[in-house]
């Protein structure tokens, strides 16, 4: 475990110097030090890290739930919902069509729909911060699309679990799906109507006791969810959502941050250990086609968002290129697919797809002005401020006559 932390940290520090995100580097560290590559083998079996990677997954989704706020969705209004919905329709739809076209199976197609359809909130946020665009007008709809993605993710995981778990017939599948959504509903009602009670339970002044309390709640509820046949990731998200809306929500966000980062690194590292690079050549063409599909569909959704918000080509290019990244959600789906015994090609496919896009996305986002040159000219609304400034700079005709 110590070696995994150190190896991931060293590689991530080297990568940060050239502007690469940490997620693909953690995966790469796992591949390099796993049993499937030559040289020193740090971890012989990925299952040795199983409990730690499970904790990393729980903390990732728990933090995502903490960050999610219904008020943000309401504040964004109809435009944000429309932009997020169109993004999902285009990307998830393209992912599902791509999955069926590959012919790996129905359950595999639904996994690929989520892999290709959901952007990485961690990488997207980091790109916005690193490029100094967090305050740009187009960043608001970008973050709004991520919020809609998060809502969809919780629902999608609940619906996907029965599909990939190998239900024997449609009745059993519907029963498992009903249990998953019922569990979600109970947690949502607790978050909505039990806020005062939950708030009192977690109104703890001592940081040590607060950490133990929220960590225990997240892991325990996730474990109970698994007993009900519900993905632990869904439960962790809902517990985070519940606690994020209490008076202690802001403190919990700060306290869980280092825990999330540490164990998420082990989650990505453990995923890398399970990947055999020898399997990547067999899926390289599907990976490259999927990358091309993602770039194309993101451009289409960026154009829709730009039209909705009356953005010009530069802002349009920023929206289209920033949301290209795929990361933690794709790997969560890969973990679920592996546990369910789906097609063995899914793991190397998802690993290659995530590695390429996680590296390409910050590079493409940083050069979005190249994409902007290929788009239609600026719209009137974006030109209005420039026109106003130009008008102010022109001399007053009456003044010229004098």
Per-residue pLDDT reduced to its tens digit, 89-137: 999 999 999 999 999 998 899 999 999 999 888 788 778 877 888 788 8
Pick the more confident residue, 398 or 298: 298
Least Cα distance to 309 among 319, 297, 321 occurs for 319
Residue 23 and residue 327 in contact, taking contact as beta carbons nearer than 8 Å: yes
Give the pLDDT band (50/70/90) at residue 18.
Answer: confident
Q: Would you tell me how many other CB atoms lie within 10 Å of the CB of residue 14?
A: 11
Residue 291 and residue 356 in contact, taking contact as beta carbons nearer than 8 Å: yes
Residue 31 and residue 280 in contact, taking contact as beta carbons nearer than 8 Å: no
Q: Is the dihedral of CA 175, 88, 152, 110 positive or negative?
A: positive
pTM of the model: 0.78
Percent residues over pLDDT 70 in the chain = 89
Q: Is the pLDDT of residue 385 over 70?
A: no
| pLDDT of the residue at 349 | 95
Q: Is the pLDDT of residue 375 over 60?
A: yes
Give the pLDDT band (50/70/90) at residue 167.
Answer: low
| pLDDT of the residue at 212 | 95
| pLDDT of the residue at 69 | 66
14-23, 87-96, 160-169: segment of lowest average pLDDT? 160-169
23-27, 30-34, 217-221, 287-291: segment of lowest average pLDDT? 23-27
Q: Is the pLDDT of residue 378 over 50?
A: yes
pLDDT tens-digit readout, 296-318 = 999 999 899 988 888 888 888 99
Q: Is the pLDDT of residue 384 over 70?
A: no
Pick the more confident residue, 165 or 96: 96
| pLDDT of the residue at 251 | 93
Residues 151-154: contacts with CB under 8 Å, at least 24 apart: 151/68, 151/73, 152/88, 152/92, 152/118, 153/64, 153/114, 153/118, 153/237, 153/329, 154/184, 154/234, 154/237, 154/238
Q: Where do we find the tokens 């063409």?
A: 285
Range ranked top by mean pLDDT from 187-201, 309-323, 381-395? 309-323
pLDDT, mean over the chain:
83
Percent residues over pLDDT 90 in the chain = 22
């Amino acid at each position: 475990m110590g070696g995994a932390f150190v190896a991931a940290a060293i590689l991530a520090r080297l990568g940060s110097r050239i502007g690469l995100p940490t997620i693909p580097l953690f995966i790469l560290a796992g591949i390099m030090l796993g049993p499937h590559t030559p040289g020193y083998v740090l971890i012989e079996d990925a299952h040795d890290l199983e409990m730690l990677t499970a904790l990393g997954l729980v903390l990732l989704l728990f933090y995502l739930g903490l960050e999610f706020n219904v008020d943000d969705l309401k504040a964004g209004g109809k435009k944000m919902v429309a932009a997020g919905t169109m993004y999902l329709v285009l990307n998830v739809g393209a992912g599902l069509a791509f999955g069926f076209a590959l012919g790996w199976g129905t359950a595999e197609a639904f996994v690929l729909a989520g892999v290709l359809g959901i952007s990485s909130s961690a990488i997207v946020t980091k790109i916005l911060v690193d490029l100094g665009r967090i305050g740009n007008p187009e960043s608001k709809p970008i973050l709004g699309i991520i919020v809609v993605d998060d809502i969809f993710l919780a629902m999608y995981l609940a619906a996907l679990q029965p599909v990939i778990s190998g239900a024997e017939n449609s009745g059993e599948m519907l029963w498992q799906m009903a249990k998953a959504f019922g569990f979600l509903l109970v947690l949502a009602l607790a978050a909505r109507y039990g806020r005062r009670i939950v708030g009192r339970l977690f109104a703890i002044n001592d940081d040590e006791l607060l950490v133990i309390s929220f960590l225990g709640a997240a892991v325990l509820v996730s474990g109970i969810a698994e007993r009900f046949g519900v993905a632990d990731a869904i439960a962790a998200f809902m517990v985070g959502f519940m606690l994020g809306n209490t008076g202690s929500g802001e403190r919990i966000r700060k306290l869980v941050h280092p825990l999330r980062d540490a164990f998420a690194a082990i989650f990505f590292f453990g995923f890398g250990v399970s990947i055999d690079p020898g399997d990547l050549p067999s899926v390289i063409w599907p990976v490259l086609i999927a990358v091309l599909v993602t770039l194309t569909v993101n451009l289409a959704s960026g154009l829709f968002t730009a039209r909705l918000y009356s953005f010009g080509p530069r802002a349009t290019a920023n929206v289209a290129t920033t949301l290209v990244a795929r990361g933690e959600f794709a790997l969560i789906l890969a973990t679920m697919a592996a546990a369910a015994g789906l097609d063995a090609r899914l793991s190397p496919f998802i690993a290659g797809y995530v590695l390429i896009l996680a590296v390409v996305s910050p590079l493409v986002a940083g050069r979005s002005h190249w994409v902007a040159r290929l788009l239609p000219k600026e719209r009137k609304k974006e030109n209005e401020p420039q026109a106003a400034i130009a008008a102010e700079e022109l001399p007053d005709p009456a003044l010229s006559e004098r």
